[in-house]
């Protein structure tokens, strides 16, 4: 369910809880309220109104975070791979696309007439394969550590979440952009989503799981949310 308070969309999730919980979420500052099941829409709206100043302050922080500029996939641009910055060097060939890392360079080989969209599509698939390789290592590690097993996982490009979990099917989705972040961030998101297989909310029981298996999870979360974000179209709608 969604309400709008002074032009701010607010996601409302009703739960069997006693108190209201307000969150402004990375990377773009979307607003979410967890509310007791019986609380009226009017009461929730009034609550959000009293917090407007705090909400706008948090959203401004996200807007001020450094973002990578919109890419054309030409020489001189930057790419991030597992948290390390590389400078793009574009070369041309008709023997097939390729992307290789050498020193501080990411050498992208493409057809000269290829469009930026075609280059982007190839690079995203390259990231997808990279992510698959690392998840193949770290997902079984954390499943064995926690005793929590997902039925399957997939990656997709997301602009508002690093990961998500379907507790009915036990399936996990991981953001393709995680291949650009440090490995520690990937491990944190994997553990986070596995924990949701046992606890749907982010309450004390959920936090206890993170504390038990990854005592430094808050530092990893901060590292992830403070890292450079992708370019986002100004007319983006969720």
The predicted-structure confidence for 177-209, as pLDDT tens digits, reads as follows: 999 999 999 999 999 999 999 998 888 999 999
Listing DSSP states for 10-49 in one string gives EEEEEES-SS-EEEEETTTTEEEEEEETT--HHHHHHHHH
**What's this model's pTM, rounded to 2 decimal places?**
0.70
**Portion of the chain with pLDDT greater than 70, in percent:** 89
Torsion of CA 18, 22, 27, 30, to 10 degrees: 110
Can you give the pLDDT at residue 210?
96
Residue 38 has pLDDT above 60, yes or no: yes
Domains and CATH numbers, the chain: 2-64 (no CATH), 78-226 (3.30.2010.10)
For residue 131, give the nearest of 163, 160, 159 by alpha carbon.
163
Each residue's pLDDT tens digit, 93-115: 999 999 999 999 999 999 999 99
């Amino acid at each position: 369910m969604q309400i709008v308070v002074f032009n701010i969309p607010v996601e409302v999730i009703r739960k069997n809880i006693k108190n209201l919980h307000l969150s402004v979420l990375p990377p773009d500052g979307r607003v979410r309220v967890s509310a007791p099941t019986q609380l009226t829409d009017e009461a929730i709206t009034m609550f959000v109104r009293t917090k407007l100043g705090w909400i706008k302050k948090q959203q401004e922080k996200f807007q001020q975070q450094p973002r990578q500029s919109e890419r054309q996939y030409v020489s001189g641009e930057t790419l991030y791979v597992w948290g390390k910055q590389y400078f793009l060097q574009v070369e041309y060939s008709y023997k097939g696309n390729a992307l290789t890392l050498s020193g501080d360079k990411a050498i992208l080989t493409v057809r000269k007439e290829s469009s930026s969209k075609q280059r982007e599509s190839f690079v995203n698939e390259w990231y997808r394969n990279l992510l698959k390789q690392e998840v193949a290592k770290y997902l079984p590690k954390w499943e064995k550590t926690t005793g929590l097993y997902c039925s399957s996982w997939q990656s997709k490009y997301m602009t508002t979440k690093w990961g998500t979990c379907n507790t009915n099917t036990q399936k996990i989705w991981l953001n393709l952009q995680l291949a650009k972040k440090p490995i520690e961030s990937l491990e944190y998101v994997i553990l986070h989503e596995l924990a949701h297989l046992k606890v749907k909310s982010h309450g004390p029981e959920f936090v206890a799981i993170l504390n038990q298996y990854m005592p430094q999870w808050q530092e990893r979360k901060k590292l992830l949310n403070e890292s450079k974000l992708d370019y986002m179209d100004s007319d983006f709608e969720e």
